[in-house]
Amino acid sequence: MKQLLIFMRIISGLFSFFGCNNQKETKIIATDSSGNVQTINPNELLMTIPTIENTFPDFENKSDTNNLKILEDDWRQIEFVSKDQKHLIDQEIDSITYIFEHEMHQGKDYSTFKNLYVRRLITKPVSLTFEKVQLYLGDAKNKLAGININGNVGQVKNGFSISSQGFNYYGIKDENNVVSVLCFYIADTDVGSEISVDKISKFLKAENLYIVDWVHRQIADEKNVKDFFSY
């Protein structure tokens, strides 16, 4: 049986499939690199990541060149979560571990997954004022902007991004400036990384938070966050 690798656009292409109950009857229509339309059996797909988040943000029809740009597959993959939700974190990681143990496909020089786990348990990872987020993670020179997600028109509604000391953060806040989603994105540079990790450590301790990398099943608090950013 020929199997197909899905390297990007997992959320937009597969989200409805993994969220429905009649997976065996579902077919995916896609266009290959030659422009030919193909009907794909979902059982033949291989995914490059083991998990995605169930919720996806709304968008508004405007944008800015300074916005943080991320891939769909990266949405909420490394995020801050209240320690009060540790039992839910453990449940989600147990389900992701099942994918690693039972749904992994090992190729000659690559590893992929025959299925993925859709996280649904943590709908509101944090509840913080935007001022606190800026106070702990920003600095006098930090850049504030919005979020663009590859493959989607416009920017994330009520979204924000902060770039400080080479580290990028993004999230969603409401009209009262209360942040309910706060995530970490890639570091642009190693310059200032030690300062940024120290800031994150103080932030985790003060606000009773973990930082969680769902794809790699890593959890850190203020005591081991330096190891979290060194693996």
The pLDDT tens digits of the residues spanning 119-132 come to 999 999 999 999 99
Rounded Cα gap, residues 185 and 74, in angstroms: 8
Give dist(CA 70, CA 65) in Å, integer.
Answer: 13
Handedness of CA 137, 142, 145, 148 (dihedral sign): negative
Is 70 exceeded by the pLDDT of residue 10?
A: no
Comparing 30-34, 78-82, 208-212, the range with the smallest average pLDDT is 30-34
Residue with the two structure tokens 């449940």: 91
Report, as an integer, the average pLDDT of 140-168.
90
More confident residue, 26 or 72: 72
The model's confidence at residue 188, banded by pLDDT at 50, 70 and 90, is confident
Q: Of how many residues is the chain composed?
A: 231
Q: Report the share of the chain in percent with pLDDT over 90.
A: 65
Say if CB 67 and CB 147 are below 8 A apart: yes
Contact 170, 158 (CB under 8 A): no
* Share of the chain residues as helix, strand and coil, in percent rounded to the nearest 5: 30, 30, 40
Instruction: Answer for the pair 143, 162: CB distance below 8 angstroms, yes or no.
Output: yes
All residues at 6 or more sequence positions from 54 whose CB lies less than 8 Å from its CB, including other chains: 19, 118, 119, 120
Edge-to-edge strand order for the sheet containing 4-6? 4-6, 45-47, 111-113, 104-106
Gap between the Cα atoms of 68 and 210, Å rounded: 23
CA gap 184, 151 in Å, rounded:
20
Amino acid identity of residue 44, one-letter, is: E
Strand 51-53 relative to strand 117-119, pairing: parallel
Query: Measuring CA to CA, how many Å separate 67 from each of 135, 182, 230?
Result: 20, 16, 27
Q: Which amino acid is at 121?
A: L
φ/ψ of 154, rounded to 5, equals: 85, -165
pLDDT at position 228: 94
Instruction: Give me the pLDDT at residue 8, please.
Output: 40
Share of the chain above pLDDT 70, in %: 81
Among the ranges given (36-45, 48-57, 106-115, 193-202), the one the predictor scored with the smallest mean pLDDT? 36-45
pTM score of the predicted model: 0.83
pLDDT > 70? residue 2: no
Kindly indicate the confidence band of residue 74, based on its pLDDT and cuts at 50, 70 and 90. Answer: very high
